């Protein structure tokens, strides 16, 4: 579903991604792990067309997407929930979700009801302004808004950031069900290894802008030496 060959990308003259290769099949849930500053967010932004590739090729559903505008990439079925959950604080929960639905599916698209099964709190807060929700509720709204467009693939950047443990567990369960029941393909960047293991069946390790190791979540649970090598400070 997603294929990246030799991606080089960065800011100004500095390269962050240095020839990164990656393949993700439809229906897979993959966690991207690595120390701070190794290029995880940069990779998600490059996939969404928010940062231009300096070299390399990207395909989504067999279509080249490097050099493509973000709007067209979103229409093709990719959605991104950035770190810090960028919701519209002055719009209500319902309006946030409505915009997510229309963004990809066009005017008149309704909010898919599965979103309220995933995140029941959103159904209770429909008329409340996004900015008045707690951090955990805003994260659920940000993910719900992305899912309202019924994407084929979702890119999630640090969903646990700033959330209390019980909400992290709830978000993890909701994402796992989205993968298993809706067939969503998912890439999650996450520092919280427990959450990454709960969401993903495959873990990729990034260091200095390339993928340096990969393993199944089951293997990582049994042997955490890769975590010590690529995540310990």
In the complex, minimum distance from the CB of residue 42 to ligand ATP, in angstroms, rounded to a whole number: 3
Measured from the CB atom, the residue of 92 and 191 that comes closer to ligand ATP is 191
DSSP single-letter state for residue 129: B
Query: Which among 29-37, 90-98, 107-115, 195-203 is the span making contact with ligand ATP, rule CB under 6 A?
Result: 29-37
Which secondary-structure segment (H or E) carries 18? strand 14-24
Reported for 60-68, long-range contacts at CB under 8 A and 24+ positions apart, including other chains, are: 60/1, 60/2, 60/153, 61/1, 61/152
- For position 84 contacting ligand ATP by CB under 6 A, the verdict is no
- For position 51 contacting ligand ATP by CB under 6 A, the verdict is no
- For position 136 contacting ligand ATP by CB under 6 A, the verdict is no
* Among 30, 39, 141, 175, interactor with ligand ATP by CB under 6 A: 39
Contact of 127 with 89, CB cutoff 8 Å: no
* CA 83 from centroid of its chain's CA atoms: 9
Which secondary-structure segment (H or E) carries 42? helix 40-47
What are the backbone dihedrals phi and psi of residue 64, each rounded to the nearest 5 degrees, phi first? -65, 130
Residues 8-27 that bind ligand ATP (CB under 6 A): 11, 16
Measured from the CB atom, the residue of 126 and 212 that comes closer to ligand ATP is 212
Measured from the CB atom, the residue of 40 and 145 that comes closer to ligand ATP is 40
- For position 40 contacting ligand ATP by CB under 6 A, the verdict is yes
- For position 42 contacting ligand ATP by CB under 6 A, the verdict is yes
In the complex, minimum distance from the CB of residue 34 to ligand ATP, in angstroms, rounded to a whole number: 6
Quick one: how many helices (H) and strands (E) in the chain? Answer: 10, 10
Residue with tokens 């990582």: 220
Query: Which among 19-27, 30-38, 69-77, 144-152 is the span making contact with ligand ATP, rule CB under 6 A?
Result: 30-38
């Amino acid at each position: 579903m997603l294929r990246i060959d030799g991606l080089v990308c960065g800011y100004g003259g500095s390269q962050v991604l240095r020839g990164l290769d990656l393949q993700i099949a439809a229906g897979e849930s993959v966690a991207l792990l690595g120390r701070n500053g190794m290029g995880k967010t940069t990779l998600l932004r490059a996939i969404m067309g928010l940062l231009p590739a300096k070299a390399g090729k990207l395909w989504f559903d067999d279509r080249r997407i490097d050099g493509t505008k973000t709007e067209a990439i979103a229409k093709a079925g990719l959605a991104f929930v950035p770190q810090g959950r960028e919701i519209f604080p002055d719009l209500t929960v319902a309006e946030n979700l409505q915009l997510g639905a229309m963004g990809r599916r066009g005017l008149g698209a309704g909010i898919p009801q599965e979103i309220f099964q995933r995140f029941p709190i959103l159904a209770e807060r429909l008329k409340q302004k996004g900015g008045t929700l707690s951090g955990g509720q805003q994260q659920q709204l940000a993910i719900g808004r992305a899912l309202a467009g019924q994407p084929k693939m979702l890119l999630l950047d640090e969903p646990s950031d700033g959330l209390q443990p019980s909400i992290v567990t709830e978000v993890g369960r909701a994402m796992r069900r989205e993968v298993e029941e809706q067939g969503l393909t998912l890439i999650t960047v996450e520092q919280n290894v427990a959450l990454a293991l709960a969401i993903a069946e495959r873990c990729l390790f990034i260091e200095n802008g390339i993928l340096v190791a990969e393993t199944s979540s089951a293997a990582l649970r049994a042997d955490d030496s890769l975590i010590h090598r690529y995540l310990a400070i």
